[in-house]
Amino acid sequence: MYWYQNNKLYKNIGRALPLFVGSALLFWSCGSATTQKPDKGSSDIFSLDSFFNAEANRLQQVNPSILKSVKKDGEQEERELKIGNWKNELSAFQSADISKNFDPTLYEVKAIDCVTEFTAKKKDLQIQKLRIEFDKDEKVKHIYIDKKITNSLYDSQEKLDYYSDSLYRIVKLQDVQGLDANQYEIIGKFIHATK
């Protein structure tokens, strides 16, 4: 009986070992997202303001071609162009920064492997979700923002995605008191990937 139980134990260890080794490699390969730190004098929370300021400056110098499509209430227009002012183009992302005066009582923070996620604990906060994904070299791979504004004049909800050197997307639904709701979507695809 002893050899049978031991044999069963070895089989279970044999099944669990690849899972354990795979998890350890994934954790090790991604590194810690918290090593991405904003400028000195700021908090330890990832700064969207600093990141998109640096991106705007970099893209202004590289000057990539973009295939930009704008869809508003069912009508769509698409064209290839160069962006004249990247700071203005990325301002919706930059304005979602929560690092200044960050209050941990307002957000649930999860940092798992290569992903750091901030989820609002209150429905009245403007930034409801901020998700930052890093690659194995600890560079930003994807940023997702869920943003909403509610006041007596209008309700607005935005979902923003930024994939480094690949694509950015802004989807906005706005409902103004006394007017029809309108929705628009802006997608910018990088034609020539920049490094």
3 state DSSP class of 78: strand
Task: Return the pLDDT at 180.
Answer: 77
Task: Return the pLDDT at 97.
Answer: 92
Task: Return the pLDDT at 15.
Answer: 44
Task: Return the pLDDT at 181.
Answer: 78
Per run of 10 residues, the mean pLDDT along the chain (length 195 residues) is 45 42 43 38 74 96 95 90 95 92 92 94 94 93 94 88 95 83 92 60
| pLDDT tens-digit series, residues 162-172 | 999 899 999 99
In which residue are the tokens 């991405």 written?
Answer: 36
Task: Return the pLDDT at 1.
Answer: 42
Map out the domains of the chain as residue ranges: 31-190
For residue 42, give the amino acid letter: S
Q: CA–CA separation, 178 vs 67, rounded Å?
A: 35
Q: CA–CA separation, 144 vs 97, rounded Å?
A: 12
Q: CA–CA separation, 160 vs 147, rounded Å?
A: 8
Are 85 and 76 a contacting pair, CB within 8 Å?
A: no
Task: Return the pLDDT at 74.
Answer: 80
Q: What are phi and psi of 51, to 5 degrees?
A: -60, -50
